[in-house]
Amino acid sequence: MVVPAFNEAERLPRTLERIASYLAGRPGGYELLVVDDGSTDATAERASTGGATVLRNATNRGKGFAVRRGMRAAGGERRLMSDADLSTPIEELGRLAARMDEGYDVVIGSRALPGARIEVRQPFYRENMGRLFNLFVRALAVPGLKDTQCGFKLFTAAAAEAVFSAARLDGFSFDVEALFLARKKGYRIAEVPVVWRNDAASRVSLLRGSLAFPDLLRIRANDWAGRYGL
Ligand SMILES: Nc1nc2c(ncn2[C@@H]2O[C@H](COP(=O)(O)OP(=O)(O)O)[C@@H](O)[C@H]2O)c(=O)[nH]1
Ligand SMILES: [Mg+2]
């Protein structure tokens, strides 16, 4: 389990407790990695107190950089990434894992499919920006997926290695790049509806969020230039 964390000292303790108690009740072992992305608060201490292994970026590199680092450092057969606020509750892992059991390599949580249960919505502007972004995503990068930005995604070890060794984007568009690469490399992707309870304390600034749009063109450009390998 990989949790990217930027100034998450407040939210982490409760999150790590919930994760640990849920995962302890599932078959198989687990490993909990927190990637502290140059936080200026007590994120790293709280993470290790909470039982996580902490990887620390010396400076703030972005969510994409952090997730990539965590996914590659992880050793599990199945690797889940989740936001530190558990907006998608950890219990939803069961639904994702069930689809992976059917043979999918990458299973992503979705707020846009019928069956998703949005218990607390994002602010109006974020929801609309998200919808617009997903339109561009479908046109430019990964047709057919409804919600690429939910912070709850499960990869097999093989898919995680292949995708995150080739991925290059450090910002919030990294999800799109990861899914683009997964497709390109022939991995099967399933999108499943999940529960979402938005936590108002966002770490995503409007500026940083907006940079995801030009990044979509960067994905195409990288692909044309052969930077993603075969
Ligand atoms: N590594 C890293 N993680 C970040 C950064 N900004 C946000 N995050 C993490 O990304 C996840 C999603 O952030 P959050 O504030 O919940 O986003 P929102 O709910 O979509 O507004 C959380 O785990 C954050 O700690 C960043 O600059 N670097
Ligand atoms: Mg959030």
Those residues whose C-beta lies under 8 Å from the C-beta of residue 205, and which sit 6 or more positions away, are: none
Ligand 1 atom with least separation from CA of 201: 15
Average pLDDT over the chain reads: 96
Amino acid at 54: V
Can you give the pTM of this predicted structure?
0.96
| Whether pLDDT at 230 is above 80 | no
Which CATH superfamily includes the segment(s) 2-224? Answer: Spore Coat Polysaccharide Biosynthesis Protein SpsA; Chain A (3.90.550.10)
Contact criterion met (CB below 8 Å) for 2 and 52:
no
Tell the residue nearest (CA) to atom 3 of ligand 1.
63
- The per-residue pLDDT for 137 is 96
Count of beta carbons in the 10 Å neighbourhood of residue 207: 7
Q: Output the CA 23–ligand 1 centroid distance in Å.
A: 22
At 130-157, the pLDDT tens digits run: 999 999 999 999 999 999 999 999 999 9
What pLDDT was estimated at residue 205?
84
CA-CA distance, 136 to 121, in Å (whole number)?
22
What is the pLDDT, as a whole number, of residue 203?
83
Q: Check pLDDT > 80 for residue 200.
A: yes
Mutate to test the pocket of ligand 1, among 83, 124, 170 (most ligand atoms within 8 A of CB): 83
CB 118 within 8 A of CB 111: yes
In the chain, what are the domain boundaries?
2-224
pLDDT of residue 107: 99
